[in-house]
Amino acid sequence: MSYAPSASAQPSSQASAKTRQIAHLAQQLQLLAQRTEQLEQLSATTAEQASYMRLLGGYHAAWFMASQRIMTPGDTPDEQGDSQTQQGQ
């Protein structure tokens, strides 16, 4: 008792299975190509945004340095001169 399909049915089923597999592979390759193109576009957008983020980081650093100079008492020459005259009296 053999459980294998008959010899006449086997070549056509193999051909249809192979055709299905090739069609599925073609569909998967097309999907891969679309996603690769989308990844390329997203990477370009990310690179552009990274340059803007770098500029924004520079602006924030400048603001923090400027606020430190403004908020620190006795940092300006006028205040330093006043504090020295008060200490000398």
Spatial neighbors of 83 by CB under 8 A, at least 6 apart, are 74
Q: Tokens at residue 9, please?
A: 């049915």
* Residue ranges per structural domain of the chain: 16-72
**pLDDT score recorded for residue 76:** 60
**pLDDT score recorded for residue 40:** 98
**pLDDT score recorded for residue 13:** 87
Q: What is the pTM of this model?
A: 0.52
Residue whose structure tokens are 């001169």: 81
Tally the residues of the chain: 89
**pLDDT score recorded for residue 88:** 58
- Which residue ranges of the chain lie beneath pLDDT 70? 1-10, 75-89
